[in-house]
Amino acid sequence: MYEYIWPMWVTLGLALAYFAKQWLRPARATRMHDQLRQDWLQAISDSKGTEVLGVQTIRNSLMSCTMTATTATLALMGGVSLLHSSWAEAATNGRAEVLQLHTLAVLVLLGLSFISSMLAARQWHHAGFVAGMPTDSPLRAQWLPLGQTSLRRAGHFYALAVRLLMWCVPMVLVGLQPWLGLVSAVLLLLVLATGIDR
């Protein structure tokens, strides 16, 4: 049993360490997108008649965020069904308990992804109100810093949600074949660190 369980803890540890690092100090790409979104809101605030464009753009981001949350929710419900069904009891060579732990680990990642998506949706919602205010309104200028902060937070939460979904792949693989899961976790970490996060 031990040879099946330690790769799961290593993979889950890598995923949660990556999550904590991104929470405390987001990746370079996320920080660059922060600046892009803040500049975008400033640009449409300086251009009269762009209120509808601003709301539509934020609505598109909100829809994308909602799809991520829906994916995480559906996978979470499927995982809970598996966890409480008799599939693990039918496992051979005494791996039933290990399979249940692997499923639980995947559920943790899916749950964190769902929560991050919902936090992102909340921030997109706030930013949408600011973007929809008339550009020449004094209230728009008053609420602009909050809109920019909301866009920054929404981007951080959404980036976390997507990356947590990515981490579910090695977590599932480690339950099927421990070494394959560990290799895929290390490869994902390299792809994130040298590509997506940059």
pLDDT in tens, 58-111: 999 999 999 999 999 999 898 888 777 755 555 555 566 777 778 888 999 999
The residue with greater pLDDT, 51 or 102, is: 51
Q: What is the pLDDT of residue 158?
A: 94
- Contacts with 182 (C-beta within 8 Å, 6 or more apart), sequence order: 7, 10, 11, 170, 174
pLDDT in tens, 111-143: 999 999 999 999 999 999 999 999 999 999 999
- Residue whose structure tokens are 């929809």: 132
CA distance 86 to 82: 8
Q: Which helix (H) or strand (E) holds 108?
A: helix 96-132
- Contacts with 44 (C-beta within 8 Å, 6 or more apart), sequence order: 50, 51, 53, 54, 131, 135
The answer to whether the beta carbons of residues 28 and 115 sit under 8 Å apart is no
Structural domain spans, the chain: 2-20+34-196
pLDDT in tens, 23-50: 898 888 988 999 999 999 999 999 999 9
